[in-house]
A and B are shown apart, each in its own frame.
Chain A
């Protein structure tokens, strides 16, 4: 599959940490329907780029 603008963003569900609430939670992309969302991938914690 090749993603491009104009296509639906693939849905996913995953564990997450919410630093503001200080708690673990589940995140499901489709729960954000109706909002603008940025998916911000980065290699690993404790790195500096």
Chain B
């Protein structure tokens, strides 16, 4: 079987995979990083989104071999070594932007890429359009949109900390 070597959350791994093995299968089954989820089989729901070399990618539609030599970040790799959450994680908690938690890892990974790609800032409408590739069945997106806006302010240096949600 072919070999794939990739860096995941800062650690380099080499694994034997089948040609048809998906990146999400490598992450979940071989590396046991089960924070990345599979919610569909048609590349619609976005629960599987990870970053490959800083870009958000649906890992259910990426062959493991395509990630050879790449640096992959999953939800497990977002917080800093001292446990401090990424501003997007912090904002999701502050704004109650998750309920069952299943879409959350992919939603957070997509949201980070969306904010990073838009340093000029995002309107609510643009955030909603930017989430086109991620489905949440629990929240109605209302709080996800608010969380992303709040995280963007911190990620772009406009605020030091996540703005508190109104009680």
Q: Do A and B come from one complex?
A: no
List residues of A whose CB falls within 8 A of some B CB: none
